[in-house]
Amino acid sequence: MTTPGGLLLALAVLVPFIGVLVGLVLGGRNAQRVAFLTMAIGFGVAVAVADHFLRSGAPVVYLLGGWAPPLGVALRADALAVVMLLVVAVVIFGIGVYACADFGTPSGAREARAPFAYWLLLMAVWGSLNLVFVSGDLFTLYVALELLTFAGVPLVSLEGRGETLRAALRYLLFALLGSVLYLLGAVLLYGAYGTLDIALLAAHIRPDPATLAAAALMTTGLLAKTALFPLHIWLPPAHAGAPAAASAVLSALVVKGSWFLVVRLWFDVMPGVITLSAAQLLAGMGAAAIVFGSIVAVRQERLKLLVAYSTLAQIGYLFLMFPLAFDAGGTALVHGGALTGGLLQAISHATAKAGMFMAAGLIYAALGHDRIADLAGVARAMPVTVLTFAVAGVALMGVVPSGAYLAKKLLLYAADDSGQWWWTIVLQGGAVFTAGYVVLVLANALRGAGVPITLVVRVSRRSEFAALALAVCSLLLALAALGPVPGDLVSNPLAPAELGSTLLTFAGGALLALGLARRSLLAPARADADAGPVRRGMVAVGTAIANADVLVRRWPSASVAMLAVTALFGWLLAAGAMSN
Amino acid sequence: MSGGTLFGLCAALLVGVGLYGMVANAHPLRKILAFNIVGSGVFLMLGAIARRGAAAGLGGDPVPQALLITGIVVAFSATALAVAVLLRLFDVTGSVTLSADVPAKPDADAAEAPAKPPQSPGLG
C-alpha cells in the first residue's frame, strides 16, 4: 500500500535527475543555477519525507504505478533511508557551495566543459544515492548502483589528464566486475524465490545453497565497489587524482552507496542467513583496512594521497559494526545499538571526510603543491583551512565531542555486551592510527616558515567556510545524544578516564607519525640511515607495508582476491548453515 | 537433462570463461569484452529462470524477461562508457595500459601538455 507522502519518495529520486536534464538542456552557467535550485527543492523533499516518517512512525512506501510486489516495484523509506536522505542533501549542498570557486563558468565563456559536466554529475550522484536509499527491491538497487558508478567515474577524470583517465578506467572496470557478481547473486535469488522485493524475500529466506551463493556473490561485489581492503585497487589513484570538489563527493558519498547496500542486504534481506563467522570475516577485513590504510597514509608524500588512504582506513571502520549487531544467541543480525553506531560513523565520516578533502584541495590550490613535508607556514597563511583539517581529523579520530565518539561508544557497549573483546581493542586502537596521519599533517602545517610563504592564488573565503562548516557538522553530530542515542553515553567528556584516553590517542598518533613519516618530524634534514634503531625499524615496516599495498593493488592480485573473498564468504555461510 | 538445466550450465560456463578473461587479460579492451561475456552468462541464466518459471499458457515468466532487457541496457551503457574512456586514454597518453605505477611511455607527461587533442563532447 502506498502510504501518505509516498509520492515524495519518487520525487526524492526524480528531482535531481530532472535537474540533470534541465541543466543539460539550458547548458552553460545555467547548469550551476539549476543545480542550486535542485538542491533547495531536494532538501525540502528530504525534510518532508522525514516529517512523514516521524509522524506515522512507520516506513513511507510508494508503489510505482500502483502495482504491488512481486509484480510491481516498491520504494520504501525506513529510518536508515530517511537519515541518509537528509545527510546526503546537506553534504551535497556543502560541496556545492565549495565547488562554486573551482567550477564556476569563467566570465566571458558561454560554457566550459569541466564545470558543466561537474554540476550535472553532482546531481546525478545525488539522484542515484537517493535511489539506493529508497529502493525496495534488489534489481532496482542494482540499477541505482550502476548509475552511481556511471556518475562517479567521469568525476574522477574531469581534468582529462592521462593518469586520471587511467584511474577512472581502473575504477570502472573493477566496479563492473563487482556489479556483475552482485547481479549474478540477484538472479540466483530470483530463481530461488521468484521475487526480488526486500520485504517479501526477508519473509521467505532460508539458508539453501542458492541463497548462500547469492549472499557471498552480492556481498563481495558490493565490497569491491566500496573498496574495502584488499579490494581497494581503484580507490587511491581515483580519489587522489580527481579535483578536490569531486574527491569530496567520491569519498564522502559514493562509497557510502554500496556500503549502505551491504547493510540492507545483511540486516533487511537475510538477517538470519548471515552467520557470525561471516560477519567476523567482514569486520576483520575492516580492521585490516584501518591498520593498512593508516600506515600507508602516514607514508605518503602528498597530502591528497594521504587523505585518499585515510578514506581507505575509514571505510574499514564502517564494517566493524557487523559482528557486534548480532542478537544474544548470535544467530541473526538485529537493528539495535551497533547499527545506530555504524550509521552514525558513516554520517560523521561523510561530513568530516568531505571537509578534509576540501581543505586538502584548498591547500593544493593556494600553494601550487601539496607536499606534506613542505607545508611549513601554511597555518599562518590559511588559518581557516588548517583549522578545518584539524576539526575534521579530530572528528574522524572519535575523541570527545564528536559523532564518531558516540558511534565508538555504542559499538564498544555492543562489544562488551556480546563479549567480543577483540573488537574493543580494534575500536580503541583504530583511533591511534587515525591520529597518526592527522598529527603528521598538523605538525608540518603548524611549523613556522623561515620566510612568510606566498600563496599562488587567493582561495575563495566561501570555499574555506563551506569546508569548515561540514567539518564542524561532524563534531555537532554529538548532539545526537540529545535525541536518538541514549544520553548517558556522553556522561562527562572531561572525566579523567575520557581525558586520559583522548590524550593517549594523541600521544600514540604522535609516536606513529614520528616513527613512520617520510621525512623525520624532529630532524627533517637527517637521512633515515643516521636515525635511531626504533625509527629505522618503523620505517622498514612502513616501507614493507607500502610495497605490499602496491602488490595488492595490481589487477591480477586484486581480482583473484575478489574471487577468494567470495569463496571464503560462501564457505563460512555454508559451514554455518550446516551446523544449524 | 532438461532444457532449463542445460541452459543454466551453459550460463555457468559463460560466467566462468568471462571471469577468467577479466582476471587474466591485461588489455582493457579484452577486459571489457570479458565483462560482456560474464554479462551474457548472467542474462542467459535469467532467460533459463524465466522459461522454468513459465505459468500455464505463457512462454515464460515475464518478470525476469523485463529484468533481462534492463540488464542488457545497463551492460550496454557500461560498455559504451568504458570504451569511451579507453579511447580518450589512448588519445591523451598514446597507450592503454592500466598499471598506474609504471608509466608506459617515460615521456607521456611531457607529450601530454603541448599537444592536447580536441575535447570530445561525448565523454562527460
| Chain A residue with Cα closest to B77 | A150
- Domain range for B108 is 3-123
- Give the bridge partners for A302, in sequence order: A371
B33 pLDDT more than 90: yes
Q: CA of B40 to nearest chain A CA: how many angstroms apart?
A: 10
pLDDT > 70: what percent of chain B? 76
Which of A427, A399, A426, A431 lies closest to A497, judged by CA? A399
Q: Which amino acid is at A85?
A: L
Looking up cell 563479549 gives: A419
| Least confidently predicted of A47-51, A97-101, B35-39, B78-82 | A97-101
| Inside any domain, residue A335 | yes
- A120 to B124: CB separation less than 8 angstroms, yes or no: yes
Contact predicate B2/B11, CB 8 Å: no
pTM: 0.90
| Chain A residue with Cα closest to B33 | A173
Q: Residue A498 CB: number of other CB atoms within 10 A?
A: 17
Residues 6 or more apart from B121 whose CB is under 8 A from it?
Answer: A113
Q: CA of A436 to nearest chain B CA: how many angstroms apart?
A: 26
| Inside any domain, residue A89 | no
The span from the CA of A211 to the CA of A192, in Å, is: 7
Q: Give the model's pLDDT for residue B121.
A: 45
The beta-carbon contacts of A193-196 under 8 Å, at least 24 apart in sequence, are A194/A70, A194/B53, A194/B61, A195/A69, A195/A70, A195/A137, A196/A70, A196/A137, A196/A138, A196/A139, A196/B67
Identify from A119, A131, A164, A187 which residue to disrupt to test chain B contact, counting B C-beta atoms within 10 A and taking the largest count: A187
Alpha helices in A7-77 (DSSP H): 7-26, 30-56
- A172 to B85: CB separation less than 8 angstroms, yes or no: yes
Residues 6 or more apart from B89 whose CB is under 8 A from it?
Answer: A162, A165, A166, A169, B95, B96
- A169 to B38: CB separation less than 8 angstroms, yes or no: no
| Inside any domain, residue A15 | no
A24 vs B: CB within 8 A: no
**Crossing angle of helices A461-476 and A79-102, rounded to 10°:** 160
| Inside any domain, residue A98 | no
| Inside any domain, residue A455 | yes
Residues 6 or more apart from A449 whose CB is under 8 A from it?
Answer: A376, A377, A380
- Domain range for A398 is 276-524
- Which position has the higher pLDDT, A460 or B79? B79
Contact predicate A559/B23, CB 8 Å: yes
| A146 contacts on B by Cβ (under 8 Å) | 74, 77-78
* DSSP result, A218-259: HHHHHHHHHT-TTS-TTHHHHHHHS-HHHHHHIIIIIHHHHH
Q: Give the model's pLDDT for residue A464.
A: 84
When divided into structural domains, chain B yields a total of 1
When divided into structural domains, chain A yields a total of 1
Q: Give the model's pLDDT for residue B14.
A: 94
A100 vs B: CB within 8 A: no
| Least confidently predicted of A7-11, B26-30, B70-74, B93-97 | B93-97
Alpha helices in A398-484 (DSSP H): 403-418, 421-446, 461-476
| CA atoms within 13 A of residue A265's CA, in its CB half-sphere | 29
Contact predicate A23/A78, CB 8 Å: no
Q: Give the model's pLDDT for residue A184.
A: 93
Q: Give the model's pLDDT for residue B102.
A: 45
The reply to whether ipTM tops 0.90 is no
Q: Give the model's pLDDT for residue A85.
A: 92
Name the helix (H) or strand (E) containing A62: strand A60-63
Domain containing residue B90: CATH number: 1.10.287.3510
| Inside any domain, residue A407 | yes
Q: Give the model's pLDDT for residue A526.
A: 64
Query: In Å, what is the CA distance from A292 to each residue of A22, A311, A317, A376, A427?
Result: 44, 11, 12, 27, 15
Q: CA of A488 to nearest chain B CA: how many angstroms apart?
A: 49
CB pairs under 8 A between A and B: 121
Mean pLDDT by 10 residues, chain A (580 residues): 83 93 86 89 92 88 85 88 91 90 76 85 94 92 94 90 88 92 93 88 88 93 91 88 89 92 91 86 92 89 89 91 82 82 88 90 86 82 88 84 81 83 85 87 81 76 86 79 59 69 82 78 65 79 85 87 92 83
Identify from A555, A559, A565, A566 which residue to disrupt to test chain B contact, counting B C-beta atoms within 10 A and taking the largest count: A555
Burial of residue B101 (number of CB atoms within 10 Å: 0-12, 13-18, 19+): exposed
Q: Give the model's pLDDT for residue B112.
A: 40
| B67 contacts on A by Cβ (under 8 Å) | 139, 187, 190, 196
Residues 6 or more apart from A437 whose CB is under 8 A from it?
Answer: A294, A297, A298, A306, A309, A310, A513
Query: In Å, what is the CA distance from B16 to each residue of A220, A256, A276, A401, A541?
Result: 16, 30, 29, 51, 38
